[in-house]
Amino acid sequence: MRIIEPKHFDSLPPVKKKRHYLRWFIVLLLIGGLVSAGYVGYKRFNRPLPDLVVSKSVELSAGPDVKYQWPDYGQSAVAIVGKGVIDSNNSQKPQPTASLAKVITALVVLDKKPLVVGQEGPSIAITKLDQQIYDKYYVINGSIVPVLPGTTLTQKELLEGTLIASANNMAETLTNWAFGSQEEYIRYANQYLEENNFKNTTVADSSGFSPKTVSTAEEMVRLGEMAMLDPVFAEIVASPQAKISNAGVIRSTNFILGRNGINGIKTGNTNEAGGCFMISVDLVHPDDSRSTVIAVVMGAKTVAQAMEDVQPLVYNYTESGFNDVAVVSEGQQLGVISSEWGHKAAVTATNDLSLFGWQQDQPNYELQIDQSDESGFADGQQLGRAVVELGSASGSVAVEQNGQINPPDFWWKFKRIFQR
């Protein structure tokens, strides 16, 4: 065994100490991570609060219903152009229309052969067949306007004879020209009605003389509303008279045309249908706005009775339904202002607001908020406005916060440290 004496240690090479660079690197990395995490946490804790959210909370109420007093016979209905059918009475089962059907005739012909105001349209040859059609209606005491074979009439003249003088023969001549035959017109017209969702209207002829041409008052006012949107149709039915080649001056069967805003539309009378009348009235309201009202009465004893009984539906009831409507009241809640940390307050109107319009319309509104940040936490602070619409009328009312929204507490903000 070898013995190492102490003196030998002095001759041994020195032992090198390990360098612990990696350990110091990890320590520094951890320290940097803690500092960064602390910085991020501080920033997240103190970052700007999310905007408050403002939402509508109610639907505004319409005014009271207009209570109509209807004729005690047949069926009736009222529509406002742009609003559709307002009200109607009785069963609304299909019944003969008489010459109100000529509104359908004109609509369908103008759908097939459109015109613009000022156009006469094509010239249409009058033949012996057209004379025979005239003779047919003459024998059965239908409405007629004379025609002369070998001459021509324009599309517009035939429309005028159909709508102004209510000439059965001109309705048939017009549709024969436009569609080639009555059968093809009837097919096209019923398809047109089906496509436009007229489920209770059936066309069996172009004049309405047939009792098999049926509709309801509700659907007839809808048809009148559609027709009055066509400027050519509206111009013709508003004319008290017209001059037609070889027939001279024809006058409207609507003898109250031009009174009190009446600008159309059509009379009708047969044994099966009774007296029928479709009226169009241009109402001018106190605020100078306008509305067109279409009303129909079917099944009266005479046309004169139908014309008399339809007018109160327009003037006594529909016109009186246009009023200053209280759409918003002071203090009414219109919305809710809420925060992500669970606090809420009401958004309320600062004053009343009334708008002129049809009282049965549903008012609509939108909230326009100027600010929803931390400066908006105070009870009673004005937030912006509510813009309210009633039909074509609009107005605004200031809105304010009703209730206090306090800033979030420490723990809610602390939780945000762990959220991106």
Residues in a beta bridge with 267: 277
What pLDDT does 407 receive? 85
For residue 214 the two structure tokens come to 């049926």
Range with the lowest mean pLDDT among 41-50, 61-70, 173-182, 209-218?
41-50
Per-residue pLDDT at 114 exceeds 90: yes
Does residue 10 lie in a domain region? no
Q: Are residues 233 and 351 in the same domain?
A: no
| Share above pLDDT 70 across residues of the chain, in percent, rounded to a whole number | 90
In whole angstroms, what is the distance from residue 41 CA to residue 141 CA? 96
- Name which residue leads in pLDDT, 13 or 294: 294
pTM strictly above 0.95:
no
Q: Are residues 134 and 210 in the same domain?
A: yes
For 44, the domain range is: 20-49
pLDDT tier at 418, thresholds 50, 70, 90: confident
User: Final residue of a domain: which of 254, 280, 311?
Assistant: 254
Minimal CA–CA distance to 298: which of 37, 126, 47, 98?
Answer: 98
Does residue 315 lie in a domain region? no
pLDDT tier at 374, thresholds 50, 70, 90: very low
Q: Are residues 331 and 234 in the same domain?
A: no
Q: Are residues 107 and 38 in the same domain?
A: no
User: Final residue of a domain: which of 254, 286, 316?
Assistant: 254
What pLDDT does 31 receive? 77
Q: Are residues 58 and 45 in the same domain?
A: no
Q: Are residues 224 and 351 in the same domain?
A: no
Q: Are residues 102 and 31 in the same domain?
A: no
Per-residue pLDDT at 8 exceeds 60: no
CATH number at 179 reads 3.40.710.10
- Write the pLDDT tens digit of every residue in 299-338: 999 999 999 999 999 999 999 999 999 999 999 999 998 8
What pLDDT does 38 receive? 58
Please, are residues 145 and 172 in contact by the beta-carbon 8 Å criterion?
no
In the block, residue with structure tokens 């009870």: 379
Average pLDDT on 150-160 reads 98
Q: Are residues 129 and 59 in the same domain?
A: no
In whole angstroms, what is the distance from residue 316 CA to residue 406 CA? 55
- Write the pLDDT tens digit of every residue in 253-298: 999 999 999 999 999 999 999 999 999 999 999 999 999 999 999 9
Q: Are residues 344 and 198 in the same domain?
A: no
pLDDT tier at 36, thresholds 50, 70, 90: low
Does residue 296 lie in a domain region? no
Q: Are residues 339 and 365 in the same domain?
A: yes
CATH number at 347 reads 2.60.410
Per-residue pLDDT at 240 exceeds 90: yes
What pLDDT does 228 receive? 94
Does residue 185 lie in a domain region? yes
In whole angstroms, what is the distance from residue 156 CA to residue 178 CA? 12
User: Final residue of a domain: which of 232, 254, 276?
Assistant: 254
Q: Work out how many domains the chain is built from and give that number.
A: 3
Does residue 297 lie in a domain region? no
Q: Are residues 124 and 151 in the same domain?
A: yes
Please, are residues 347 and 364 in contact by the beta-carbon 8 Å criterion?
no
Does residue 261 lie in a domain region? no
Q: Are residues 141 and 249 in the same domain?
A: yes
Does residue 321 lie in a domain region? no
Does residue 268 lie in a domain region? no
- Write the pLDDT tens digit of every residue in 162-180: 999 999 999 999 999 999 9
Mean pLDDT (the chain, rounded) = 90
Average pLDDT on 76-91 reads 94
Please, are residues 227 and 100 in contact by the beta-carbon 8 Å criterion?
no
pLDDT tier at 42, thresholds 50, 70, 90: low
In whole angstroms, what is the distance from residue 56 CA to residue 86 CA? 28
